[in-house]
Amino acid sequence: MKLWALLWRVDLTEKFVLQKFLCTFLQCSREELRTNTDQELSDEIIQKVLAAYKSYVEDKKPLEYILGHVDFFWKEFFVNEATLIPRPETEYMITATTEYINWKLKIENWKLGENLLLDIWTGCGVLWISVLLQNPTYFSHAIFSDYFADALEIAKRNYQKLITDFSWKVDFFQSDLLDFLVRWISELPDGTTVIVANLPYIPEETFEANVSDNVKKREPKPAFVGWDDGLDYYKIMLDQIIWLHPKNLVMFLEMMTWQVDVLRQLYDDKFIFEEVKTFHFNIRIVKAWLK
């Protein structure tokens, strides 16, 4: 069968998705697909494309899980059912962190390479990998963690794929929040410690009432839900920070707009919370540091 014959089959109505599968299985760009519609497709490719299309249309499997990858901050990351599919709003955390680093370099002439990056509950690893790629000289050491071994495996694969020519020290831990830091606290570098964390922050009720059945069925609930007010995990992490009291710490966190005020009231004497990026009325990237 010619490519054009498959591409224009009237029963395959999701043309964008069809093109995505063809590009992935033929390993070509959309432009190459468009200019080579006369090419003959092998039976194997046709079966692969049709199976993927069925999985998307009939089984409602997210496109990113079928493709096995997602685009985030101009890079392609592996994802699978063990990890959350990173959302576009989270890209603002990379911009916010990079702006902070640039400011720090300019204002304080901070020494390069003495700084530590921590990604707490990394999922497929988009946060720390993107921050490192955007700021290749600022950090000497990066640590990423997740509670789930399957998620850590994907983060490690992304690390091996995307971080090839740099010489940062990298460690990873299967850990609940900052538990791993107890062992590290005396070894923190003299420079800044930057935490990036997109902890699960959706209140359980909101998740049950508002999140689509598709997401509920297909993506891991623990990656979304932060229980009653959605802030259980953030509160535990902030309490750990108060207890560990690391020096020169700054955090970049993602949460819902009203949750920032809840944290401000609860931790009034301990932390400063500054809203640095807005995705839409409902979601904020928050910069926080110890008073």
Ligand X SMILES: C[S@@+](CC[C@H](N)C(=O)[O-])C[C@H]1O[C@@H](n2cnc3c(N)ncnc32)[C@H](O)[C@@H]1O
Residues in contact with ligand X by CB under 6 A are 83-84, 86, 90, 121-123, 126-127, 146-148, 151, 176, 198-200, 222-223
3-state secondary structure of 201: coil
Buried b (16+ CB within 10 A) or exposed e, 207-240: beeeeeeebeebbbeebbbbeebbbbbbbebbeb
Smallest gap from residue 90 Cβ to ligand X (A) = 5
3-state secondary structure of 146: strand
Whichever of 59 and 205 has its CB closer to ligand X, that residue is 205
Distance, in Å, from the CA atom of 3 to the CA atom of 33, rounded to the nearest integer, reads 9
Distance, in Å, from the CA atom of 89 to the CA atom of 126, rounded to the nearest integer, reads 12
Whichever of 116 and 255 has its CB closer to ligand X, that residue is 255
Whichever of 153 and 176 has its CB closer to ligand X, that residue is 176
Give the angle 131-126-165 at the CA atoms, nearest 5°: 60
Smallest gap from residue 120 Cβ to ligand X (A) = 8
3-state secondary structure of 36: coil
Smallest gap from residue 171 Cβ to ligand X (A) = 17
Whichever of 86 and 203 has its CB closer to ligand X, that residue is 86
Task: Report CA-CA distances (Å) from 138 to 116, 158, 181, 214, 241.
Answer: 9, 20, 21, 40, 23
Task: Report CA-CA distances (Å) from 250 to 202, 245, 272.
Answer: 23, 12, 10
Whichever of 48 and 221 has its CB closer to ligand X, that residue is 221
**Contact by Cβ (8 Å): 97, 59:** no
Distance, in Å, from the CA atom of 247 to the CA atom of 266, rounded to the nearest integer, reads 22
Smallest gap from residue 109 Cβ to ligand X (A) = 31
Smallest gap from residue 128 Cβ to ligand X (A) = 8
Whichever of 116 and 197 has its CB closer to ligand X, that residue is 197
Smallest gap from residue 158 Cβ to ligand X (A) = 11
